[in-house]
Structure 1
Amino acid sequence: MRPALKSLLVIATMAALAAFAGTAHAQKPGRKNVNAASPYRGEPYAAREEAMQWAEDMASRRGMDPGWVRAALGRAQMLPLVARLMQPAPNGTAKNWQAYRSRFVEPVRIAAGLKFWNDNEATLARAEREFGVPPEIVVGIIGVETLYGQHMGNFRVIDALATLSFDFPASHPRAAERAKYFRGELEQFLVTQRVTNADPLRPLGSYAGAMGMPQFMPSSWSRWAIDFDGDLRVDLAGSPADVIGSVANYFKGYGWQPGMPTHYPVSFNPETLDKDALLAPDILPTFSVESFTAKGAVLSGPALEHPGPLALIELQNGDNPPEYVAGTENFYVVTRYNWSSYYAMAVIELGRAVKAARTAERGS
């Protein structure tokens, strides 16, 4: 967490927290006819000593009523389905960019994105003026995350976060690190619910505990969600304006640089290519144009004048040859939303496809 905001930001922060619960409650209806066999039901954490001790420690750390924290967490349920969904892909599973891309850059999502852009043209333009983030990036994010609000999740957030905090699959290569992360998110969620006097059992979201059209985690909600429509509350499920402003605010907060491309085409000079060295930093922009090209990467046009560092982005295609681009600092910013180059490219290319459809629709 960053240092607490002072004076003038306190009221805005509290307003965002107060809307946190209300927005999550407004998400699409969740479970119907839930019974004991439902994947959305499981064993409550009230009987789990580890969870109840964590509740005590958290209450002490945050200056909260331990009875309230224990009662809230005790009603959370361990969902085996959530744990299964968090399992890593089996060893040997080949990544396939073209298959991944086809899930998101497709006619239904492009058409929905075009409608969303047309319906919210002025708001997207205002967000670009205020935060420097172009509409196609905001539109791409919301489309990839929830198909513009059509799929916001039916898991109780407290169940998902508790399961991933105390029953994260041990087979995951980063199980301890990820469980620690989710305990931080669970803590932020409970703090927010208590501050707003909201029912922690009501908010619904994804199996990872993300909420609303932009699928913000609790820490992102408290840090980046804003009231962009001026109604004095933050609604990331029902207010496209708040969603647009919050996503743009998120990107600005992570260092989005207006006017900078996300990536450039790249090819290779086989005589000087040192691909291992180029791929070593992964998606972190590390190389100047000079050092990038010295290792055998070939750039052209505006890429040769790029002022900042670059990364070689590899997109594997199963048994077919991989594709490569030169990623900029803005590409890296997109991956702060989801730490995956495949995700970032899907967001970028969906946004571009929607922008192209909008241009074609207008005949210019």
Structure 2
Amino acid sequence: MTPSTLTHRFKLAIFLIASLAGAASAGEVQPSKKTANTQTAVQGPPYATRPEAMQFADDLASRRDLDPAWVREAIGQSRYNATVARLMQPATKPFVKNWKVYRSRFIDPIRIEAGRRFWLENQASLARAEKEYGVPPEIIVGIIGVETIYGRDTGSFRVMDALSTLAFDFPASHPRAQERSEYFKGEIEQFLTLQSRLGNDPFEAKGSYAGAMGMPQFMPSSWVKYAVDFDGDGKIDLWNSPADVIGSVASYFKAFDWKPGMPTHYPVSFDSSRLDMDALMAPDILPTFSVASFTAKGAVLEGQALQHQGPLALIELLNGPDAPTYVAGTENFYAITRYNWSSYYAMAVIELGREVAARVKP
């Protein structure tokens, strides 16, 4: 976008402020996960009307040595999106976790078949990523499948609107509202710095309601830190280049200490005569126990697990009214949770990858 185009947009936005004020609505039913990345009408006036947003723009431009007018116009034309804010609000009703239900949303025939095709079409890139980064194809394929069904649903919210809404109007009802607001201000900074360097229109990028982008749903800071030009064409394209996506996901996991060749988890059972469940659950999903200390607290491992080198964690996956599912998670299981801080998410990635691999490998 040229400066003159931005200025034209900016003036038009200011002209429309009066008619747009008060358009944000509240109390709508939160959409399902299936539709959560779907853009709805932008409902607020431009952030150019907010002095604190414009002050942030000036400070950002100074810190990053960016054109102040360009930054002010980019942030100023962003608009509050009520759907984005609503999706970030804490649940109003008690939520019962259920691994079986969660699993069924991601391990399904459509996603498995799409993953099979993606794997076969990108075998060379997957093999090279494993060789260079140590991350197996099934983990990379599992991530991309869970995130966007291999690019089918990358989100349709304008990234600038999503990031600005969460930076300047993060729901006050959230227990970590101030912390999250600061986080999203940092993401605006990373996003605009990247767009300026690439010469892109900051309003062309679309993503999730949280501002995550492309097939792997990278936040701007992750794009800057971990994305790679894996196809060697001189640019990084996480929307349209499967090779760049594959290499970038592998790069991400290497940065979070993926251990090549290490399993993600092992089966576990319990010896009730010496079980200390409170001690086993205390570190949550952080691998803390040696095999000896793990089994001393009543966890029972067999076969390869008894030879594991490194710490373990007891992973609990609740199943609603039914008995929980337990596994012994390794450092690689924990690495997957650095992509999304959920043991349910990590297990879905692992199991989708395995299902796809079973249909690809002889």
- TM-score by length of structure 1 reads 0.87
Residue of structure 2 equivalent to 1:20: none
8 Å CA contact retained: 1:313, 1:341: yes
Task: Return the match for 1:72 from 71, 74, 91.
Answer: 74
8 Å CA contact retained: 1:40, 1:155: no
The amino acid that maps onto 1:244 is: I
Residue of structure 1 equivalent to 2:184: 182
Which deviates the most, 38-47 or 245-254? 38-47
Q: Report deviation, 1:351.
A: 0.1
Secondary structure of the 2:317 match is: strand
CA distance in 2, matches of 1:309, 1:177: 31
CA distance in 2, matches of 1:87, 1:337: 21
Residue of structure 2 equivalent to 1:311: 313
Deviations 1:3-29 (A, max 9, x none): xxxxxxxxxxxxxxxxxxxxxxxxxxx
CA distance in 2, matches of 1:119, 1:225: 21
Which deviates the most, 287-296 or 168-177? 168-177
Which deviates the most, 64-73 or 45-54? 64-73
Q: Report deviation, 1:57.
A: 1.9
Deviations 1:311-340 (A, max 9, x none): 111101111111111110000110111011
Residue of structure 1 equivalent to 2:215: 213
Task: Return the match for 1:197 from 174, 196, 199.
Answer: 199
8 Å CA contact retained: 1:255, 1:333: yes
Q: Report deviation, 1:174.
A: 1.9
CA distance in 2, matches of 1:301, 1:174: 43
Deviations 1:231-266 (A, max 9, x none): 111111111111111111111111111100000111
Q: Report deviation, 1:42.
A: 2.3
Residue of structure 1 equivalent to 2:9: none
Which deviates the most, 57-66 or 45-54? 57-66
The amino acid that maps onto 1:137 is: I
Deviations 1:43-86 (A, max 9, x none): 21111122112112222222223222111100001101001111
Residue of structure 2 equivalent to 1:42: 43
8 Å CA contact retained: 1:45, 1:76: yes
Residue of structure 2 equivalent to 1:17: none
Task: Return the match for 1:270 from 260, 272, 277.
Answer: 272
Q: Report deviation, 1:230.
A: 1.6
The amino acid that maps onto 1:55 is: A
8 Å CA contact retained: 1:72, 1:200: yes
CA distance in 2, matches of 1:278, 1:157: 41
CA distance in 1, matches of 2:175, 2:275: 32
Which deviates the most, 338-347 or 58-67? 58-67
Residue of structure 2 equivalent to 1:129: 131
Residue of structure 2 equivalent to 1:166: 168
CA distance in 1, matches of 2:184, 2:317: 28
CA distance in 2, matches of 1:71, 1:116: 39
Residue of structure 2 equivalent to 1:16: none
- Say which structure, 1 or 2, has more relative contact order (CA 8 Å, 6+ apart): 1
Q: Report deviation, 1:195.
A: 2.0
The amino acid that maps onto 1:262 is: T
Q: Report deviation, 1:196.
A: 2.1
The amino acid that maps onto 1:146 is: T
User: Where does 1:280-299 land on structure 2 (aligned, <5 Å)?
Assistant: 280-299=282-301
Q: Report deviation, 1:89.
A: 2.6
Q: Report deviation, 1:176.
A: 1.9
Residue of structure 1 equivalent to 2:11: none
User: Are 2:237 and 1:241 aligned?
Assistant: no
Q: Report deviation, 1:112.
A: 0.4
The amino acid that maps onto 2:40 is: P
Q: Name segments (4+ residues, structure 1) moved above 6 Å.
A: 35-38
Unaligned 5+ runs, structure 2: 1-19, 25-38
CA distance in 1, matches of 2:312, 2:179: 28
The amino acid that maps onto 2:150 is: Y
The amino acid that maps onto 1:349 is: E
> Alignment identity in percent?
67
CA RMSD of aligned residues (A): 1.5
Residue of structure 2 equivalent to 1:356: 358
8 Å CA contact retained: 1:265, 1:325: yes
Secondary structure of the 2:200 match is: coil
The amino acid that maps onto 1:89 is: A
8 Å CA contact retained: 1:158, 1:186: yes
Residue of structure 2 equivalent to 1:21: none
User: Where does 1:56-135 land on structure 2 (aligned, <5 Å)?
Assistant: 56-135=58-137
- TM-score by length of structure 2 reads 0.87
Deviations 1:181-200 (A, max 9, x none): 11111110011112222211
Q: Report deviation, 1:91.
A: 4.4
User: Are 2:348 and 1:346 aligned?
Assistant: yes
CA distance in 1, matches of 2:123, 2:198: 32
CA distance in 2, matches of 1:69, 1:279: 47
Residue of structure 1 equivalent to 2:30: none
Give the paired residue count. 326
The amino acid that maps onto 2:265 is: H
CA distance in 2, matches of 1:340, 1:66: 39
Unaligned 5+ runs, structure 1: 1-34
Which deviates the most, 192-201 or 304-313? 192-201
Q: Report deviation, 1:298.
A: 1.0
